[in-house]
Amino acid sequence: MTTPLTCQNYINGQWLNATGENILASHNPANKTEVVATFPRSQVEDVNQAVAAARQAYQSWRKVPAPARAEYIFRVGELLAEHKEELAELISREMGKPLTEARGDVQEGIDCAFYSAGEGRRLFGQTTPSEMPNKFAMTVRMPIGICALITPWNFPIAIPCWKAMPALVCGNTVILKPAEDTPACATKLIEIFAAAGLPPGVINLVHGVGEEAGKALVEHPDVDLVSFTGSSETGAFVGATCGRTHKRVCLEMGGKNAQVVMEDANLELAVDGALWGAFGTTGQRCTATSRLILHRDIKEKFTTMLCERASQLRLGAGYEPETDIGPIINHKQLQRVYEYMTIAREEGAKILMGGEIATAGLLKQGYFFQPTILDNVTPEMRVAREEIFGPVVALIEVNTFEQAIAILNDTKYGLSSSIYTRDINRAFTAMRDIEAGITYINGPTIGAEVHLPFGGVKQTGNGHREAGTTALDVFTEWKSVYVDFSGSLQRAQIDNRG
């Protein structure tokens, strides 16, 4: 065991204890007796202090030229690359994902840094003709102000980077409230931002419980924007609160993603995609494949292939080199996944494999769940409609392509989707008709790239996108600018020709 990291809040360029004395702990989900870090249970007073620091820093930070702001973020990317292995090992120990995936988590942060830094020279507006003579018209992007970033535990480096980096390049100041399960990862990330030389108050970190510190941030009158990634239930509260208080809000919430496999698909490739999509990150991704919609002609063969491959997956601590599937994040989520097995049986689904908490050998020290495949699932079952967020995938049989698309769309979510087919007409029809923010052709439902928009439709979010140039639309306001050099009053939309 390693010595637990003592985490503090980072406010106005200083590492500070919270005003209260309550201390919380994060644990290694592969060995629940190991404390990875302790962190403060911040209260309203701590949030107020962070918001005040961000507000003061905003007045000067917004005036720093965007290319100069971007240079700080480029330096963050360099530092992330230097500390990649250290951060990956910490992610694996505190969050549980295998080291190969943890390195990918950090790499997303690196990619986001270099991409966002480039946007410092591309915060483009528009110039457009005026309807008046001797008058110039243009649009420019302006920062929003103080941004509260509330992030989950499943991508403890990548998602904070997705939010903080474009926000800072756009001229905002930020306050990060990370998940209670990954305070050490957030602390190390903010240490890197600080080492990059960002001025005091430009980026702040407040640890604590969502119902306390997170809620205080969402409700604070001086917070101008809330960017939230997490559960649909919490997202609904965040959205409603921001609506009442006229805050800008960006929500990224749940998914019930499906992979369709048609009768003409490359089955080996489709099985590869299903395994990675369903069991990567232990199914703890909003883009995880939780439904496999299989054409009847290949269902039996595909199911046999899938079960054979899934049975070879190895459970274990993420930092063990032979591990394929790491632990569930905590006891509460482990029990939630297990409860869905009872629901599945009651609804008439068949558990082909898995379905139990894994306790063999050293697995009993952590929160492990067997990779699980449910058969005889019908679209109206809860296991086909509700987000489980664990290593569980449901098999649904269909007769036609049209039925497959209809079932894929028959959910309140619309984040990611996938279809395996060799038919180009079906592929393009799927691109058109699938109701999702992301569609993959002959690829799994997971694997976003930082230069493309990320987000979904329906109850997955509120219409905004993260990553890519679309992130700039979240973190900036448009301003229209008119310059009249005619030397006389010109009144737009007044008919002077009569």
242 annotated active-site = no
252 annotated active-site = yes
3-state secondary structure of 483: strand
Residue type, 259: Q
Label residue 360 exposed, middle or buried (CB < 10 Å: 0-12, 13-18, 19+): exposed
User: Parallel, antiparallel, or unpaired for β 392-398 and 289-295?
Assistant: parallel
The alpha carbon of residue 333 and the mean position of all alpha carbons in its chain are separated, in whole angstroms, by 18
Instruction: Report the C-alpha gap between 26 and 277 in whole angstroms.
Output: 27
Instruction: Report the C-alpha gap between 225 and 148 in whole angstroms.
Output: 6
3-state secondary structure of 399: coil
3-state secondary structure of 28: strand
Instruction: Report the C-alpha gap between 460 and 253 in whole angstroms.
Output: 5
Instruction: Report the C-alpha gap between 303 and 24 in whole angstroms.
Output: 44
Q: For residues 105 and 326, is the Cβ–Cβ distance under 8 A?
A: no
Residue 352: its H or E element: strand 350-353
Instruction: Centre a 10 Å sphere on the Cβ of residue 251 and count the other Cβ atoms it contains.
Output: 24
Catalytic entry in 185, 250, 286, 397: 286
Find the farthest-apart pair of alpha carbons in the chain and give their distance in angstroms, rounded.
Answer: 90
Distances (CA, A) of 161 to 179, 192, 467, 469: 14, 11, 10, 15
Q: For residues 64 and 234, is the Cβ–Cβ distance under 8 A?
A: no
Q: For residues 137 and 127, is the Cβ–Cβ distance under 8 A?
A: yes
Catalytic entry in 94, 108, 119, 252: 252
- Going by C-alpha positions, the residue among 253, 248, 221, 242 that lies closest to residue 475 is 248
Q: 17: Cβ–Cβ under 8 A, 6 or more apart, which residues?
A: 8, 9, 40
Which residues are known to be catalytic?
A: 252, 286
